[in-house]
Copies of this chain bind each other. A is one copy, B any other.
Amino acid sequence: MSLVIVGSLAFDTIQTPDVRREKVVGGSCTYCSVAASFFTSPKIVGVVGEDFPDETIALFKKRKIDIEGLEFSKGKTFHWEGLYGHDPNQRKTVKLELNVFADFKPRLPLSYRESGIVFLANIHPELQEDIRIQFTNPEWVAMDTITHWIENNRAPLLDVLKKCRLFFCNDEEIKLLTAEPNLIKAGNRILEMGPSYVVIKKGEHGALMLGKDFAFGVLAHPCEDVVDPTGAGDSFAGGFLGYLDSVKNVDKKELRRAAVFGSVMASYAIEDFGIERFKSLTFSEIKKRFLEFREFVTF
């Protein structure tokens, strides 16, 4: 079908309880596209500044990521700084410099418009909608968001959500969006708002996918050392949608597998800072962990 990923490319400054790392290459589009590239050749939409490393662009090309929709702008790349406590599921945004992202108004390359799967990763919901309408007739529109937009831009967010088939969120976001403390009820509320499927990511507790008459749960890989939780959610979406793009007939069985491949990619992402772990990752390691996920829950 071909997969387009729209989102941020960034420098992240990451502070964990043990370590501080500056200018780590990150952003939702970066994590998601590199994770998806193990399953398909994603096309990306985003913007970088003059300081974005050539090495990362070379990595995108090596991994057959189509960068025709990537804008190279004058100025500095988007910069995010975050702080993690001992619970890697909770983080605080310390600094946010939009830089080249401030005036980003993408026009989709013609070669992107017929794509079957569109992922609107976390960006301003109005920008998500501006991009969504440039696609002809995608079979799957998926989106993600963060609490910032839920709190400050609720109306445009609900507007994009209505037109999405698949909504990715975490437990904190869905509770905020629906005012429902019970995740099953919260998920069912989302299904009333437009999407056919909702995937609730729960960090160390795994993920839950709900649809009409459909529920699937996947446990997180038992992990002793979370080096850097940044990008776990975007890597999940990348694995999920990359796998979906690689299968001929998407049915519920394939959706279950997609959620597991999403979890596999998230479990690798957190083993090192930024996209470092993906640089050495092989498809046979991905398949091995997929089988470990199965072994972990089989009875």
A: residues with CB less than 8 A from B are 86-87, 181-185, 188, 202, 204-206, 208, 210, 215-219, 222-226, 253, 256-257, 259-260, 294, 296-299
Which chain B residue shows the least CB distance to A226?
B182
Q: A206-B219, A222-B208 are in contact. Are A299 and B260 (CB under 8 A)?
A: yes
A253–B299 touching, CB < 8 Å: yes
- Which listed residue, B188, B204, B256, touches A183 by the CB 8 Å rule? B204
Distance to closest chain B CB from A240 (angstroms): 13
Contact between A224 and B184, CB atoms less than 8 A apart: yes
Contact assessment for B184 and A257 in the assembled complex, using a CB-CB cutoff below 8 Å: no
Inter-chain contacts of A222 with B (CB < 8 A)? 184, 208, 210, 215, 217
Tell me which of A204, A205, A216, A225 has the highest count of chain B C-beta atoms within 10 A of its own C-beta: A205
Q: How far is the CA of A142 from the CA of B185 in the complex (A)?
A: 35
Our pick among B188, B223, B297 for the contact of A217 (Cβ within 8 Å) is B297
Contact B219 A298 (CB under 8 A): no
A244, B167: Cα distance in complex, Å: 41
From B217, B223, B253, B298, contact of A184 by CB (8 A): B223
**How far, in whole Å, are A182 and B205 apart by their CA atoms in the complex?**
11
Residues in chain B near residue A253, CB distance under 8 A: 299
User: Given that A185-B224, A204-B183 are contacting pairs, would A296 and B215 also be in contact in the complex, using a CB cutoff of 8 Å?
Assistant: yes
Q: How far is the CA of A185 from the CA of B226 in the complex (A)?
A: 11
Q: Is B215 in contact with A299, judged by CB distance below 8 angstroms?
A: no
Instruction: Report yes or no: A86 in contact with B216, Cβ–Cβ below 8 A.
Output: no
Q: Which of A215, A257, A260, A297 has the most CB of B within 10 A?
A: A297
The one of B217, B226, B298 that contacts A296, using a Cβ cutoff of 8 Å: B217
Q: How far is the CA of A260 from the CA of B181 in the complex (A)?
A: 25
Q: Is A297 a contact of B218 with CB atoms below 8 Å?
A: yes
Residues of B within 8 A of A217 (CB): 206, 219, 222, 296-297
Contact sample, A vs B, 30 pairs, CB 8 Å cutoff? A86-B181, A182-B204, A182-B223, A182-B224, A182-B225, A182-B226, A183-B204, A184-B222, A185-B224, A202-B205, A205-B205, A205-B206, A206-B217, A208-B222, A215-B222, A215-B296, A216-B296, A217-B219, A217-B296, A217-B297, A218-B299, A219-B219, A219-B297, A253-B299, A256-B299, A257-B299, A259-B299, A260-B299, A294-B299, A297-B297
A67 to B299, CA, bound (A): 33
Contacts of A184 in B (CB 8 A): 222-224
> Could you tell me if A256 and B298 are in contact, using CB atoms closer than 8 angstroms?
yes
Contact, CB under 8 Å: B87 / A181: yes
Q: How far is the CA of A223 from the CA of B226 in the complex (A)?
A: 29
